[in-house]
Amino acid sequence: MNKIYNKNTFLLLFVIAAISLNLRLGITSVGPLMDTIRTSLSLSNAQASLLTTVPVLCMGIFASLATVLNKKYGSKFTLILMLSVLGVATALRGFLPGFSTLLITAFLIGLAIAVLGPTMSSVIKKYFPGHAAIAIGISTFFMSMGSAASAAFTGIFFEVSDSFMFALAIWSAFALFGVLVVAFVLKTGDNSKLPKQEVSEVKYKFPSPWKQLKPYLFMLFYALQAAIYFSSITWLVPMSVENGMTMIQGGMLLSAVMSVQVIFNLLLPIMMEKYPARRNWIYFILVAGTAATLLFWTGDHTLMWIGAFMMGIPLGGLYSAALMLPLDETLTANGANSWTAMMQTGGCIIGGLFPFVIGFIYDSTQNHNYTMLILLVIYALAFILITIIGNKKENNFDKFIVDPSDN
């Protein structure tokens, strides 16, 4: 039996970390500057929310493109291409002013992330077939590190430079770093020397996930976690400012959320692998998120800080749990890619609409009580859905074996 870890495996984990740092920066860096951008460009709240809604929608619409690019060009080329698109789009925010530029770059950022996510899942499934939870934990940990950094420092970059364009564009440096790491460190194919998934002589033919029930349940769960995540990072700072905090204080509040998210992104997949009753873990996460939302609703600054630390639990845990669902139910790297792409396609399209809906409602009511109510309803729906999904079950894939006589 091959060793699970060697030097090349840790190099692959380094590559995964470098890519993951970029998976939310172009979106989370907008949240701390939402009010500044809205005021500077004379936008409504609904218009400003499009800067997070558009990339999330693109993450759903273009997720299936990952399967096409990976099959035609391979994972390494696909990763380099999409990281380059991500970096250029982010950098353009510092040179071309205007709302149209922000929208176009938001589209390109969403397109890049849409392909990077499923490609990462495919690589993880291929090289960590029995220990996907650890690799997922590394990926989500560094993705959260990037989110926490953008939440903490974007506002500071703005205060120092007096330019929201610079504060948004500076994060393109991480994409350049990712391109260099993938280009010079990632080795694929026969020369990779990585302990990869053993290729069996048995051939399988699996039905499309679009023709099965369970992937649709996973899609809905992903949609709910996406709605919670992107609505929170978009509107937490404006809600904090409305309750008497400064923009810097609101940014630090968001940073506290992201810091706890970092911890749970890393711990939850490991704990779910060791104690695999995933439904109970997700129940705990949803209860914590519900309590955090209620604490935010009070408007009391002390309780809001307590709620911020609790809010990091669902923002970190639900994403990790959602990524584990298709990996638990598939046998091959291609299967994980197609299930993840489907889950992300519908999930991001549905979940990505919520920041815009909240902005539209706030424009009409000037009241964030409706925002809190929407979040509580989402948590309740997620509780019902995970009850239906249940815990991981051992699957029998024998019925999908291809008879050699059929070839």
Mean pLDDT of 2-20: 75
Question: Each residue of 296-316: pLDDT tens digit?
Answer: 999 899 999 999 999 989 988
What is the spatial distance between Cα 88 and Cα 117, in angstroms, rounded to a whole number?
18
400 DSSP 8-state letter? G
Q: What angle do CA 317, 222, 360 make, to 5 degrees?
A: 105
Give the H or E element holding residue 257. Answer: helix 247-274
Helix axes 132-161, 247-274, angle to 10 degrees: 170
pLDDT at 292: 95
The HSE-up count of residue 279 (CA atoms within 13 Å, CB side) is 11
Query: What integer pLDDT is reported at residue 315 of this predicted model?
Result: 87
pLDDT value, residue 192: 52
Distance CA 306, CA 308 (A): 5
Instruction: Give the contacts of 230 (CB within 8 A, at least 6 positions apart).
Output: 27, 52, 53, 56, 351, 352, 354, 355
User: Residue 287 burial by CB count (10 A; 0-12/13-18/19+): exposed, middle or buried?
Assistant: middle
Which pLDDT score, from 0 to 100, does residue 34 have? 86
3-state SS assignment for residue 401: strand
CA distance 179 to 166: 21
Q: 213: number of CA atoms within 13 Å, CB side?
A: 2
Ramachandran angles phi, psi of 391, nearest 5°: -90, 165
pLDDT for 102 equals 94
Domain residue ranges of the chain, discontinuous segments joined by +? 7-187+206-393
CB neighbour list of residue 367: distance below 8 Å, 6 or more residues apart = none
The per-residue pLDDT of the chain, averaged, comes to 83
Whether 207 shows a pLDDT value over 90: the answer reads: no
- Tell whether the torsion through CA atoms of 117, 118, 121 and 126 is positive or negative: negative
Contact 115, 62 (CB under 8 A): yes
Residue 93 pLDDT: 93
The predicted pLDDT at position 220 comes to 94
pLDDT of residue 7: 66
Beta bridge partners of 204: 401
Confidence class for position 242, pLDDT limits 50, 70, 90: confident
Is the pLDDT at 199 greater than 50? The verdict is: no
Task: Write out pLDDT tens, residues 165-195.
Answer: 999 999 999 999 999 998 887 766 545 555 5
Q: 207: exposed, middle or buried (C-beta count within 10 Å: 0-12, 13-18, 19+)? A: exposed
Phi, psi of 401 (to 5 degrees): -70, 135
Three-state secondary-structure class, residue 393: coil
pLDDT score for 10: 80
User: What is the DSSP code string of 170-225?
Assistant: TTHHHHHHHHHHHHHH---GGGG--------SS-B-PPPGGGSSHHHHHHHHHHHH
DSSP string, 15-38: HHHHHHTTTTHHHHTTGGGHHHHH
CATH no. of 7-187+206-393: 1.20.1250.20
Q: Are 31 and 218 in contact (CB under 8 A)?
A: no
Q: What is the DSSP letter of 43?
A: -
Q: Is residue 43 scored above 50 in pLDDT? A: yes
Residue 333, pLDDT score? 66
Q: Read off the pLDDT of each residue in 327-338 and give the average, rounded to a whole number.
A: 72
Using CA atoms, how far residue 347 sits from 216, 225, 273, in Å, is 9, 9, 24
